């Protein structure tokens, strides 16, 4: 039963991190809308989408089949891999949420 609780806790923690990313992205998007409106151009929004997608793709694909995995999962290389994965995932999620928060109201105006 213990491994099942670990899995549920992991997904709960992940959902919490996504919620935090959304909250930070929402605040950042509001700041951009009110203080840096010149930044919100089609070109910059496209770049935001490309960079966020690239971060998430690199994180996901990089996690798939790496050959340094051990049974214990606690070597320096594995810890570095996990850190890079988490950084890219959080940054990509933050940028993707920022993109969607900025783009949705723009589509309503058209």
Q: Rounded CA gap, 48 and 52, in Å?
A: 6
The predicted-structure confidence for 48-92, as pLDDT tens digits, reads as follows 999 999 999 999 998 876 677 777 778 888 888 889 999 999 999
pLDDT at 57: 96
The structural domain count of the chain equals 1
Task: Name the residue among 110, 87, 104, 108 with its Cα closest to residue 21.
Answer: 87
Structural domain boundaries enclosing 45 = 2-109
Question: Global pTM?
Answer: 0.84
């Amino acid at each position: 039963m213990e491994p099942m609780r670990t899995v549920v806790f992991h997904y709960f923690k992940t959902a919490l991190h996504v919620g935090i990313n959304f909250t930070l992205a929402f605040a950042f998007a509001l700041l951009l809308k009110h203080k840096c409106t010149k930044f919100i151009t089609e070109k910059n929004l496209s770049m935001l989408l490309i960079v966020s997608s690239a971060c998430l793709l690199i994180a996901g694909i990089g996690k798939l089949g790496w050959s340094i995995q051990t049974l214990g999962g606690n070597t320096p290389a594995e810890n570095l891999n996990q850190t890079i994965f988490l950084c890219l995932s959080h940054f990509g999620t933050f940028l993707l949420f920022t993109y969607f928060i900025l783009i949705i109201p723009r589509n309503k105006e058209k």
